[in-house]
């Protein structure tokens, strides 16, 4: 006798790009109604779980919460969506760096000041590199390495 099993809450392996997990299913999984904090956190946690599981299967996907549903984005949609996520992240980094610059270090001891300034320097380099790459002035070359040959082979 062969038994058929259902994966709970969702069979991640069966999910494909373009699939939609409807509101009713999300409410069933989160055991909460749309508009509640439990529903929101549960939906985001499920989206993260799907992306991690698909990454582990070497089938990366982007999952987006959209009007009470979870959508496994098609490649074109994922391209635009992920670009926006990166752009928001860069803006967040820039705001954090600006706040770091405004920190008053007068009451820091020497070690704390050194650590703060090292962090400022590192984060400043990240931002500068991002700025140069966006302007097309910094092109990161591919690492060129010699391919080792077999021992005794003189060709």
> Distance of alpha carbon 104 from its chain centroid, rounded?
32
Helix (H, G, I), strand (E, B) or coil at 67: coil
**What's the mean pLDDT when you consider all of the chain?**
87
Element (H, E) at 24: helix 23-30
Q: Which of 99, 83, 78, 9 is nearest to 50 (CA)?
A: 9
pLDDT of residue 4: 47
Banded pLDDT at 10 (limits 50, 70, 90) = confident
Domains of the chain by residue range: 12-72, 75-135
- What DSSP character marks residue 43? H
pTM of the model: 0.69
Banded pLDDT at 7 (limits 50, 70, 90) = low
**What are the tens digits of pLDDT across the range 84-105?**
999 999 999 999 999 999 999 9
**Hunting for tokens 């380099």 — which residue is that?**
125
**Cβ 20 vs Cβ 69: under 8 Å:** yes
Q: Strands, E, within the chain: which ranges?
A: 20-21, 63-66, 69-72
**What are the tens digits of pLDDT across the range 30-45?**
899 998 999 999 999 9
């Amino acid at each position: 006798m062969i038994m058929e099993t259902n994966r709970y809450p969702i069979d991640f392996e069966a999910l494909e790009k373009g699939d939609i997990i409807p509101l009713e299913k999300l409410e069933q999984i989160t055991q909460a109604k749309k508009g509640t904090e439990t529903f929101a956190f549960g939906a985001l946690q499920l989206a993260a779980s799907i992306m991690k599981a698909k990454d582990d299967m070497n089938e990366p996907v982007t999952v987006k919460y959209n009007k009470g549903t979870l959508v496994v984005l098609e490649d074109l949609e994922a391209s635009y969506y992920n670009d926006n996520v990166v752009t928001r992240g860069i803006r967040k980094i820039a705001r954090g760096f600006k706040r770091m610059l405004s920190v008053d270090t007068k009451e820091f001891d020497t070690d704390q000041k050194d650590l703060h300034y090292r962090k400022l320097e590192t984060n400043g380099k990240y931002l500068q590199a991002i700025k140069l790459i966006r302007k097309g002035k910094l092109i990161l070359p591919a690492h060129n390495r010699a391919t080792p040959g077999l021992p005794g082979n003189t060709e």
